[in-house]
Amino acid sequence: MIATCLVSMQLVCWVSVSPAAPPHANQQLDFTTDIAPILTKLGCNGGGCHGKSTGRGGFKLSLFGFRPDEDFDAISRGSRGRRVFPASPDESLLLKKATMAVPHGGGRRLATTDPEYAVLRAWIVANMPWREDAPRIAHFRLAPATAQLHHAEDLQLQATAVYSDGSQRDVTRLVRFTSGDPSIATVDAMGRLVSQSRTGETAVVGLFQGHAAVSRIIVPTVNPPATVSQRLAAFPQRNFIDQHVAAKLRQLRVPPAGIANDGAFLRRSTLQIAGRLPTLSETRAFLGDQTLDKREHLIERLLDSEDFADHFAQKWSDLLRNKRRGQAARIPGTIAFHRWIRNAFATNMPYDQFAREVICATGNVTVNPPAQWYAEVRYLDRYVDDTAQVFLGVRIGCARCHHHPFEKFSQDDYYGLAAFFGRVDRKGGAGVAERRANETVYVKATGEVKNPATGAVVLPRGLDAHPLTIAPYEDPRQALVDWMRAPDNPYFARALVNRIWAHFMGRGLVDPLDDLRVTNPATIEPLLDELAHEFIEHAFDVKHVVRLICNSATYQMSSQADADNLTETKNHAYFYPQRMSAEVLLDALDHISGVPTRYGGLPASTRAIQLPDEDYSNEFLRLFGRPKRESACECERSAEPNLSQSLFVMNNRFIAGKTTSNSGYAAALANDDRADGEKLNELFLTAFCRPADARELADGLAYLQSETDPKTAYGNLLWALMNTKEFMYIH
């Protein structure tokens, strides 16, 4: 099939792909190069078939063919060789099952006319060769790497494998293709891609023999209105963030929203940087300030505040699983670790030092609080999984048992990371499962980690890095952090800036935010690269990244989408509204009601974002998605609305007590001698950082006049505002 493709906005090539021809009679076949890819393409070694841990029907293959030597033995020699029959190849069970000539639980996988059937048959005829000298795959690519298509246009992808001897082969028929977003473009089993009616971008992924390649497909708006160009031209470009976002929106022909007004920006930035609502005095001062640089000054003031440290300490206490588990012995440790994290953000500790202090922690938590991390992260697999997910943005857990199905990571990669922790031990506790107050983490003189599949000792090494030899009595974890913070490390800096971007922008440039891999590319790759470069160049300064993001016009855009950009949900044509986290929302309810929530054993002034561990909780925090800190994934925190949450805020006495309290804000307004209109505007300024509009003012005044008890009336108005999306969401 032939298709025209636009690459990088220009017509560059005609792509023609034809099916792979059957091998010639004299062609030398090899199991790894020629047969294993066919089994993977047909799904024979998938997790739901013969690739699962116990196999199926008495026949077991390695998952996705990542151990071809084992598969070769299983096919050619397993069950006394009954699966292949060189003397009469068409009678081979391998072929008869696949074509349903005999019953097969997996259904028909081949027709006798398929080229793959001919290859399998020729291999059997040749007496099932295994060639040690056969070239192995070195590189894999998809063409075109990027393409722009009109709606309902098709494109044939071409997959090319490059082998160790320099030879190349068209392997399109043998590749497993998937589209990251089928609403943008679909792809079939043969790599034929068809764009859909929705504007946007998707990554089409090809997987072949443990290698992955991506083709990025852009489907721009058809016949965009003339105002798109005008709005893009008018979009302010305050730093490189805006340049990259504007370039992407221009490519998609999607206009950006306008800049948010002062009240919306004040509320948004205060909630996201400081984790709280602005005070009434802050709101009035900011709205009355006429200086041009007041937003920059606000950002600096918030970054320098104690509230910034509280907010980000709560976020990182989640990620680092600062968890009590109901054990009284852990309370001093969780409190000390939380204070240490908070002080790290208060003093703007360089992020590489922060990572080193946690990962390389030793000693007792009473003298070295980061050792508390090892109270919850207690096993070798957790050392690897948590370190990779939190600090590298990589979900590598699959590679513990088998080759990662969507990445290049093998078991050797996994246990290479594990080897950095091979000397970690603890004493003074009561075993692995229980953490006692007197437990001490220390580093042994020696220690090794073996790959359980091969039994071989694995040397410490970073992902895509060379193995290291660590001298006795040295801490291998120090070498791990040295590799992580190196300027050419492709994970460490990118993972952190992507995490910060997601916090402020509602979604990561890579989403999910802790799943950085080739097959899950960033929506704006150059922007992620430049943010990471800035982070490294500024000595891993977290506040510098926050400052860059919050000062950008991209962050300061309005959340009001329109018909021209409403369906754009990945490239930041407008600010994506986010519901407040459980702790921030509870603090906001306390703020607007004037009635603080109390937490047992803590000072009365303690706010929800200052809680040190998961055991300080209540029904509200549980319902609104506060994580139990059972994992290092931010996905454990839920921001999804549900009926229980709505009913709780509408009806629960916990909320009712905040609106009816004699010492609360509603009672204070009721006893205030000012005009009701002035008090209504103050109420809206407190909740939304804006005065009431004409309709809200009229309706509010009418309601106040209809009630005989002013305290009840103001309490009900307060309750009504608490239940609005405008209050619960950052927008």
Taking a C-beta distance cutoff of 8 angstroms, is the pair 184, 217 a contact? yes
Same structural domain for residues 498 and 386? no
Same structural domain for residues 606 and 722? yes
Amino acid occupying residue 186? T
Mean pLDDT on 709-719: 95
What pLDDT does residue 299 have? 98
Question: H or E segment at 72?
Answer: helix 68-76
Tokens read off for 454: 């091969």
Dihedral sign computed on CA atoms, order 709, 714, 720, 722: negative
Question: What 3 state SS string does 351-403 have?
Answer: HHHHHHHHHCCCEECCCCHHHHHHHHCCCHHHHHHHHHHHHHCCCCHHHHCCC
In a domain, 25, yes or no: no
pLDDT value, residue 26:
44
Domain that holds residue 146: 2-12+141-219
Instruction: Write the DSSP symbol of residue 597.
Output: P
Q: 702: which 2 tokens?
A: 């009418």
The pLDDT value recorded for residue 406 is 66
Token readout for 170 is 């068209």
Which residues, 6 or more positions from 127, have their beta carbon under 8 angstroms from its beta carbon? 86
Averaged over 92-118, what is the pLDDT? 90
pLDDT in tens, 318-363: 999 999 887 877 888 899 999 999 999 999 999 999 999 999 999 9
Amino acid letter, residue 716: N
478 and 504 share one domain: no
**Residue at which a domain ends, from 536, 563, 590:** 563
**pLDDT tier at 21 (50, 70, 90 boundaries)?**
very low
Kindly state whether residue 72 falls inside one of the protein's structural domains: yes
Instruction: Give every CB contact of residue 632 below 8 A, 6+ residues apart in sequence.
Output: 319, 320, 321, 385, 386, 389, 390, 514
One domain for residues 558 and 630:
no
Contact 84, 124 (CB under 8 A): yes
539: number of Cβ within 10 Å: 11
β-pairing, 211-219 vs 424-427, is unpaired
Mean pLDDT computed over 73-91: 85
- Tell me whether residue 661 is in a domain: yes
Q: How many structural domains comprise the chain?
A: 5
Domain boundary among 485, 520, 552: 485
Q: Is residue 641 part of a domain?
A: yes
Whether residue 6 is found in the same domain as residue 147? yes
Mean pLDDT, rounded, of the chain: 90
Place of tokens 């028909």: 108
Q: Please give the Cα distance from 466 to 518 (Å, whole number).
A: 20
Residue 16's pLDDT is what? 41
Q: What secondary structure does DSSP assign to 118-181, as a single string?
A: HHHHHHHHTT----TTS--EEEEEEESSEEE--TT-EEE-EEEEEETTS-EEE-GGG-EEEES-
Of 264, 277, 269, which Cα lies nearest the Cα of 584? Answer: 277
Sheet holding 146-148, edge to edge: 10-16, 2-7, 146-148, 211-219, 200-208, 176-179
Crossing angle of helices 280-288 and 262-269, rounded to 10°: 140
Confidence class for position 710, pLDDT limits 50, 70, 90: very high
Q: Which residue has the higher pLDDT, 439 or 549?
A: 549
- Tens of pLDDT, residue by residue over 479-508, are 999 999 999 999 999 999 999 999 999 999
Residues 6+ apart with CB under 8 A from 388: 394, 395, 396, 417
Closest-CA residue to 701 (of 672, 677, 670, 679): 677
Quick one: 479 and 497 in the same domain?
no
414-to-194, 376, 466, 502 alpha-carbon distances in Å: 37, 20, 14, 27
Based on the fold, state whether residues 480 and 372 are members of the same structural domain.
Answer: yes
Confidence of residue 402 (pLDDT cuts 50, 70, 90): low
| pLDDT for 590 | 97
CA distance linking residue 587 with residue 607, whole number of Å: 6
Q: pLDDT tens-digit profile of 202-218?
A: 999 998 988 889 999 99
Token pair listed for 299: 């950002």
Check: CB of residue 439 under 8 Å from CB of residue 428: yes
The first and second tokens of residue 476, run together, are: 């291998």
pLDDT digits (tens, 9 = 90+) for 518-532: 889 999 999 999 999
Strand runs labelled E in 480-632? 578-579
Q: Is residue 235 part of a domain?
A: no
Residue 131 sits at φ, ψ, to 5 deg, of -105, 110
What is the three-class DSSP state of 205?
strand
Q: Would residue 310 count as lying in a domain?
A: no
Of 621, 611, 622, 634, nearest in space to 503 by CA: 634
Cα separation, 81 vs 700, whole angstroms: 84
Q: Alpha-carbon torsion 657, 662, 668, 673, what sign?
A: positive
Over pLDDT 70: what percentage of the chain?
Answer: 94
Q: What is the pLDDT of residues 168-185, one digit of tens each?
A: 999 999 999 999 999 999
Could you tell me if 658 and 642 lie in one domain?
A: yes
Is residue 240, in this structure, part of any structural domain at all?
no
Least confident of 433-437, 635-639, 703-707: 433-437
Rounded to whole angstroms, the Cα distance separating 644 from 655 reads: 14
| pLDDT value of residue 411 | 83
Nearest to 534 by CA among 244, 125, 149: 244
pLDDT in tens, 565-617: 998 999 999 999 999 999 999 999 999 999 999 998 899 999 999 999 999 88
DSSP 576: P
Work out the average pLDDT over 651-666. Answer: 93
Q: Identify the three-state secondary structure at position 200.
A: strand
Q: Which residues, other chains included, contact 136 with Cβ-Cβ below 8 Å and sequence gap of 6+?
A: 32, 33, 163, 164
Q: Is residue 26 assigned to a domain?
A: no
pTM here is 0.90
Output the CA–CA distances (angstroms, integers) from residue 468 to 460, 462, 483, 487, 709, in the order listed: 5, 9, 11, 19, 76
179 in the same domain as 282:
no
Q: What does DSSP say about strands 729-730 and 10-16: parallel, antiparallel, or unpaired?
A: unpaired
For residue 721, give both structure tokens. Answer: 């505002």
Q: Do 371 and 453 belong to one domain?
A: yes
Residue 53 has a pLDDT of: 76
Using alpha carbons, select from 163, 178, 166, 167 the residue that is nearest to residue 209. Answer: 163
Is the same domain home to 116 and 145?
A: no
The burial of 24, by beta-carbon neighbours within 10 Å (0-12 exposed, 13-18 middle, 19 or more buried), is given as: exposed
Q: Rounded to whole angstroms, how far apart are CA atoms 273 and 319?
A: 18
Based on the fold, state whether residues 195 and 85 are members of the same structural domain: no
Q: How far apart are the first and last CA of the chain?
A: 48
Name the pLDDT band for 404 (thresholds 50, 70, 90).
low
